[in-house]
């Protein structure tokens, strides 16, 4: 090639080996509905699609939701079938009952031959375990619509370390960064998973950071999931799995944050009045 020209090559798509994910919980699998919307939105992400299309999702119905779970507050259920190909229940006799939820799931069960059969039509499935509804997301959004400047964001940010664990464990978090890694001869454009809790996430090359403090980052995490995402895609970007709360080393509790917001919404205590 002539001196000075740049040869740009696209990384080949990974070979299409089939993947089966076993034992995911219904909330985690339902989160893929949000990811599908993001990665098939203004740009069809062929690498995401290639992985997605070769993945079969076998989820296990919840039998004992944890104290931090709140799937029912965001439209889910311990027996949610959204995005699952097969949902497996623990029957009263200790046997697995398999509910086929998609053509892909039917094909998967079929391949198992006599090892596993779908539950016959009319099989009584176990009772759905109770997960109390903890807040009304409509009320949350109503308050968020008016509360960008609220002091509440500072209050909740005071104990946040900005470690990013809540995002990295979250099944709906998907933000990424694109970086060019280069030497004199060649380079690569890479996509790295990133996190809005980190100070560098929005830092510009100029040094300016439009989210200069942890308060603005904590606000972004809640706003993105409960306001911006519903406005853009018509669904909440949270499946109520409670992982962020279970994993946070300083005890930041998303349900407490949301119930506080709901109380403010009910009391008419919005940001602009503070």
Instruction: Give the interface with ligand SF4 as residue ranges (CB under 6 A).
Output: 160-166, 169-172, 197, 225, 238-244, 248, 250, 252, 254
Helices (H), the chain: 26-30, 32-39, 46-53, 103-111, 137-146, 152-157, 165-168, 214-223, 229-233, 243-247, 254-267
Taking the complex as a whole, the smallest distance from the CB of residue 235 to ligand SF4 amounts, in Å, to: 12
CA distance 209 to 169: 25
Please report how close the Cβ of residue 94 comes to ligand SF4 at its closest, in angstroms.
Answer: 30
Query: Which residue number, 139 or 246, has a Cβ lying nearer to ligand SF4?
Result: 246
Residue 200 vs 250, nearer CB to ligand SF4: 250
**Two structure tokens written together for 79:** 């027996």
Burial 102-138 (b: 16+ CB within 10 A, else e): eebbeebbeeeeeeeebbeeeeeeeeeeebeebbebe
Q: How many CB atoms lie within 10 A of CB 63?
A: 10
The single residue listed with the structure tokens 């995002």 is 167
Please give the structure tokens belonging to residue 21. Answer: 């994910």
Give min distance, CB of 170 to ligand SF4, in A. 3
Shortest distance, CB of residue 213 to ligand SF4, whole angstroms?
13
Closest to ligand SF4 by CB, 60 vs 226, is 226
Q: Cα–Cα distance between 162 and 149 in angstroms, integer?
A: 20
Pairing verdict, β 86-90 and 96-100:
antiparallel
State the Cα–Cα distance between residues 112 and 118, nearest whole angstrom. Answer: 10
To ligand SF4, the closest distance from the beta carbon of 73 in angstroms equals 10
* Closest CB 83 distance from ligand SF4, rounded Å: 14
């Amino acid at each position: 090639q002539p001196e000075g020209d740049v040869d740009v090559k696209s990384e080949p798509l990974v070979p299409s080996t089939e993947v089966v994910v076993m034992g995911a919980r219904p909330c985690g699998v339902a989160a893929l509905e949000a990811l599908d919307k993001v990665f098939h939105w203004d740009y069809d992400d062929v690498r995401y699609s290639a992985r997605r299309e070769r993945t079969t999702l076998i989820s296990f119905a919840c039998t004992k939701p944890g104290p931090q779970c709140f799937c029912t507050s965001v439209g889910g259920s311990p027996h949610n079938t959204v995005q699952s190909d097969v949902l497996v229940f623990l029957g009263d006799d200790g046997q697995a009952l398999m509910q086929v939820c998609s053509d892909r799931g039917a094909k998967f069960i079929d391949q198992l031959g006599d090892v596993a059969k779908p539950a016959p039509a009319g099989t009584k499935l176990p009772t759905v375990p109770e997960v109390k509804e903890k807040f009304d997301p409509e009320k949350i959004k109503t308050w968020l619509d008016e509360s960008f400047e609220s002091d509440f964001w500072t209050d909740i940010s005071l104990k946040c370390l900005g470690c990013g664990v809540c995002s990295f464990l979250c099944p709906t978090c998907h933000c990424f960064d694109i970086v060019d890694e280069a030497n004199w001869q060649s380079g690569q454009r890479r996509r790295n998973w990133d996190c809005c809790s980190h100070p560098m996430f929005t830092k510009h090359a100029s040094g300016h950071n439009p989210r200069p403090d942890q308060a603005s980052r904590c606000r972004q995490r809640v706003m993105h999931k409960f306001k911006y995402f519903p406005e853009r895609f018509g669904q909440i970007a949270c499946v109520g799995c409670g992982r962020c709360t279970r994993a946070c080393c300083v005890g930041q509790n998303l349900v407490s944050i949301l119930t506080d917001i709901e109380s403010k919404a009910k009391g008419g205590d919005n940001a602009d009045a503070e």
